[in-house]
Amino acid sequence: MHPSPFHNYLIRPMQQNDAAAFFKMVEVNRPRLESGFAGTVSKTKTLQATEEFIANNTANVRCTFERGCVEASPFI
């Protein structure tokens, strides 16, 4: 799967080096995100927990342009 750029955004599978930015985004928006993303919010309460969350949710994801992603993955 190739990243999909549009305007000033890029959609791609989450990567381990996204942990700090993802944690900050969740932390700043935690109250607003709790109702719609309870599982994600509950598993990303610290930076270390966020790193583990990303590792657990991206370990088996393999994406190619022709086949897309084999398994679902969080996006950032």
List of residues 6+ apart from 21 with CB closer than 8 A: 76
- What span, in angstroms and rounded, lies between the C-alpha atoms of 26 and 5? 22
**At residue 74, does pLDDT exceed 70?**
no
Residue closest to 13 by CA, chosen among 30, 1, 25: 1
Q: Is 76's pLDDT higher than 70? A: no
Q: What is the model's pLDDT at position 53?
A: 93
Write the pLDDT tens digit of every residue in 31-57. 999 999 999 999 999 999 999 999 988
Whole-number pLDDT of residue 2: 60
pTM passes above 0.95: no
